Amino acid sequence: MNTTKLFNFPSRAISLVQFCGMKNFKAPPTYDIEIPENAKLKFIDKIPTLPTNIKPPKMQKRLRYIRGPEDVHNFLMYKQYGIMALGGGRLKHGHFEMIRMTLHRKIDLSRMFAVWRVDAPWQPVTKRGQGTRLGGGKGPIDHYVTPVKAGRIVVELAGKCEFKEVEEFLTDIANKLPFKAMAVSQEMLTKMKDQEKWEEENNQNSFTMKYLIQNNMGGCQRWLSPNDFKYFCKYV
């Protein structure tokens, strides 16, 4: 229904016509994905299950498990969203529970689901009691951890949703992890790989870190570690 209002001013009369118009909204995206029956994250055991006749083995630190890039689990299986580690570190059982409980509160299980992309805690960490005398062999096992390398996908979220819906709480989870991490989507991963490839191909500075280390510029090989010779100071 059209309504006309007249406003009389000293110089001229202005006519304002108000009418209802049709608005065109974009069609919602179609998601070609099936929601599994168990959309929740599986509970992670605090201690690995071992046969009854095997004593829990102790282990050294083995920092090589958290150094360098991840070569296997560095992609999204469902091509949607997840949390990617930006550096190396160790996940404890409390971090697994924090991720699981936060996602169960935030996601809509009728149209979203989440899957783990890391193993349950398996690496033992030993610790001696306070005030105990040194010596006498390695101390008892205190807890178990899961080592994570840079580029590893920690948890993956998929379903009938957009990145804006899940970015806030995925970023909140990533900020609580014991290493640097970020919420990513498939588009972000693709752009990051393309950007890294473009920078490597179009770099006009010939004095790269690889060139400096291999040619011992300034005698840098005297104070570099073996990992710097392997990764050229990229993963520290």
pLDDT of residue 96: 98
Q: What span, in angstroms and rounded, lies between the C-alpha atoms of 209 and 221?
A: 12
**CA 182 – CA 187 distance, rounded (Å):** 14
Report the 10 Å Cβ neighbour count for 161: 17
Look up the pTM and report it.
0.85
Q: Establish how many alpha carbons lie within 13 A of residue 105's alpha carbon, considering only the half-sphere containing its beta carbon.
A: 9
Instruction: Give the pairing of strands 181-185 and 81-85.
Output: antiparallel
Per-residue tens of pLDDT for the chain, all 236 residues = 444 454 454 555 555 555 566 777 788 788 888 899 999 999 999 999 999 999 999 999 999 999 999 999 999 999 999 999 999 999 999 999 999 999 999 999 999 999 999 999 999 999 998 899 889 899 999 999 999 999 999 999 999 999 999 999 999 999 999 999 999 999 999 999 999 999 999 999 999 999 999 999 999 999 999 999 999 988 87
Which CATH architecture is the domain 31-192 placed in? Alpha-Beta Complex (3.90)
Please state the three-class secondary structure of 135-160 as a single string. Answer: CCCCCCEEEEEEEECECCEEEEEEEC
Site of tokens 């069609």? 27
Q: Which amino acid is at 199?
A: E
Do 51 and 133 form a contact (C-beta atoms < 8 A)? no
Q: What separation in angstroms does the CA of 106 have from each of 29, 52, 132, 159, 183?
A: 22, 39, 45, 14, 15
* Residue type at position 124: P
Which is it for the CA torsion 201, 150, 117, 58, positive or negative? positive
The residue extents of the domains of the chain are: 31-192, 206-236
Q: How many CB atoms lie within 10 A of CB 100?
A: 18
